[in-house]
Chains A and B, each alone.
Chain A
Amino acid sequence: MNGAQILIECLKREGVKAIFGYPGGQVLPLFDKLYDSDIRFILVRHEQGAAHAADGYARATGKPGVCIATSGPGATNLVTGIANAYMDSIPMIAITGQVKTFLIGNDAFQEADVTGITRPITKHNFLVKDVKDLARTMREAFYIATTGRPGPVVIDVPSDVQLAECEFKWPETVDIRSYNPTYQGHPGQIKKAAKLIADAKKPIIYAGGGVITSGASEELKELVVKLNAPITWTLMGIGSFPSDHELSLGMLGMHGTAYANHSIMESDLIIAVGARFDDRVTGRLDAFAPHAKIIHIDIDPSSISKNVKVDVPIVGDAKMILGELLKEIKKIPDTTEWLKTVKAWKDKHPMQYKQDGLLKPQYVIEQLYELTKGDCIITTEVGQNQMWAAQWYKYKNPRTFISSGGLGTMGFGFPAAMGAKIACPDKLVVDIAGDGSIQMNIQELGTCICNKINVKVFILNNGYLGMVRQWQELFYKKRYSHVCITSPDFVKLAESYGAVGIRVTKKEEVRPALERAIAEDNVVFVDFVVEPEENVYPMVPAGEAINRIIGGLA
């Protein structure tokens, strides 16, 4: 076999069903063999779209997403998507072409030092200089990407290596002496955690994306119910626990619910599961949860005591550790009084918005929930649309909310929806977008139409880069510097590609438009023309303690 055939054989053996990518000079040998392969290949319109689609595919399934690009500009166009997957610990394999081995370092045409560029934004990367190393490298790459704390892995393959011949040998096992992730929690630490739980009066559970990665939702629910304790989650933790459960407080942090923030600030025990105390969650660090002891369950030791000092760290897999912890908990705290206090905050600061004036973006999302009742995969762009999608839709299942958490990548949602739809063709997949974000990867409309990837894009069109405008309104004296953005006629644009375009300007048009969009057997863009200066509330200004909530009705 030649290198290209080996690559494809490895992808097959790893169970890859779909690849997102774009051809080019240094992947010609690979594409020649892809021509004969039965792996589904989705030709995107821009490599960034391929990376985000692979990412969306991975988030929807838990399986690694795969993207391919050529050397130089092809590879650098993947970079944002790779960084995005890295920040959110998403398993992804990016295969890039490279100039021939003897040209590397010569500033050859379309050459870029891809392993150099992607080193700080990958879990690991490889430059394969010898075809004999290719099969083992592919095996290791998938192993690294999908185990421990997952992440993207780049494999840079010079075109002469793709052409070189060698005998194909599939390594049955992977053994990397320097890489041994911990899964089992330390029994002593789990005992200590159980003791802290027994002594707590005001416990709260704080769930992150790690719960979803590890598939620990069942165990998490058991813990919440057993302790009769309130639960809050991060943006990445959305879907780890049903939002409509009575113990759920919704998301916490900068745009979290007021009652989640008050609850965590007043708690005396935080049980953090697969969350990393990110600055968007903790606000001012030295004021964060001053009375709380912290149990921190995480598979990545470097996440522990990075931002917040932890009392009982437990390194390992969330599902396994929660299982062990549940067995270890003998004494359950009485949370009756605590839940009363939490309920009072819920009653005093409910999530609400003013139903006056023009069409409200929150209303659109509420209506989408009313129509779908959680049976839908929602991806988001980044900014106000993302926060409204996080706040106003009631997610019930893991992997139904797909959003760029750590990196905050505008332009993520549409290609991610594409990836999710390829992974789950029978599911309704909706991208909740803003008029700014959608224009960052709008070229993927072509991909969706050509491949019949019938995603629905709901644009909350307020004519602004809304989140930046909101910050300028609140913190820069309403000096709206370069945030007013014009858009094409999204209806005509959709139609020009062969998609369906619908415009909605009034409240009463929302429900029929959503119904039609879902019913259409096509890609649909709905342009919701909404209140231009609606803000996302509640809000905690950056750097403030998270109970210092400003504005709105909250």
Chain B
Amino acid sequence: MRHTISVLVENKFGVLARVAGLFSARGYNIASLAVSETLDPSISYMTIVVEVKDESILEQIMKQLNKLIDVITVTDFTKKEHADRELVLVKVDYSAKEKAKLDSVVKKYAAKIIQCNDDNVIIEAVGEQTQIKELLETLNKFGIQELIRTGRIAMAY
């Protein structure tokens, strides 16, 4: 099962390596990872999506993260009400005759066309995992040339 955990860490060099090293040394899998500074510049916020077979492994991951000196708090969002989002940039084939169709898709998913080239467009979309998945399935019919996604970020209610 996939779990979203957030980790507040000291904003120092090497902290990301400590967190990433912990996952690789103990054989845990990171599905996605997003890191950024918080309002307090001395603290960074990491959102990590992990894939685990059972709860005991998740428990170990949380305990091991907590054990790192530079980790301030660890929260598992699975048991908490929260909002989560990810951002994708998709480069899709574009031809004038399909413009109307593409526009309606973009509108439906509250996405944006941020760059129009001769034969492709770059679409930006923000949403929950399921929405993004649906959007990508729809866009696939137009022909996806390139895809970049940020990884999930989450915030408790």
Contacts and interface: CB of A to CB of B under 8 A. Distances in A.
B156 interface: no
B59 interface: yes
Contact of A178 (B17, B56, B70): B70
A300 B60 contact: no
B149 to A, nearest CB: 29
A127 B15 CA distance: 12
A124 interface: yes
A306 B60 contact: yes
A290 interface: no
A301 B72 contact: no
Interface in A70-104: none
A120 interface: yes
B69 A305 contact: no
A124 B72 contact: no
Contact of B60 (A177, A178, A302): A302
A300 B64 CA distance: 10
B25 A301 contact: no
Nearest to B24: A120
B70 A127 contact: no
A119 interface: yes
A123 interface: yes
Contacts of B59: 305
Interface residues of A, number: 17
Interface in A121-176: 123-124, 127, 144, 176
A177 B43 CA distance: 11
A332 to B, nearest CB: 33
A101 B66 CA distance: 31
A116 interface: yes
B2 interface: no
Contacts of A127: 14
A178 B71 contact: yes
A300 B67 contact: yes
Contacts of B14: 115, 119, 127
A119 B56 contact: no
Interface in B66-120: 66-67, 69-72
B5 to A, nearest CB: 15
A302 B67 contact: yes
A176 B9 CA distance: 12
B72 A120 contact: no
Contacts of A179: 69
Given A116-B17, A120-B25, A301-B63, A176 B56 contact: no
A119 B70 CA distance: 12
A119 B67 contact: no
Chain B CB within 10 A, most for which of A116, A123, A300, A301 = A301
Contact of B72 (A116, A119, A123, A178): A178
B72 A305 contact: no
A177 B72 contact: yes
Nearest to A115: B14
B21 interface: yes
A115 B17 CA distance: 10
A120 B69 contact: no
Interface of B: 9-10, 14, 17-18, 21-22, 25, 56, 59-60, 63-64, 66-67, 69-72
16 contacts: A115-B14, A119-B18, A120-B21, A120-B22, A120-B25, A127-B14, A144-B69, A177-B72, A178-B70, A178-B72, A301-B63, A301-B66, A301-B67, A302-B66, A302-B67, A305-B59
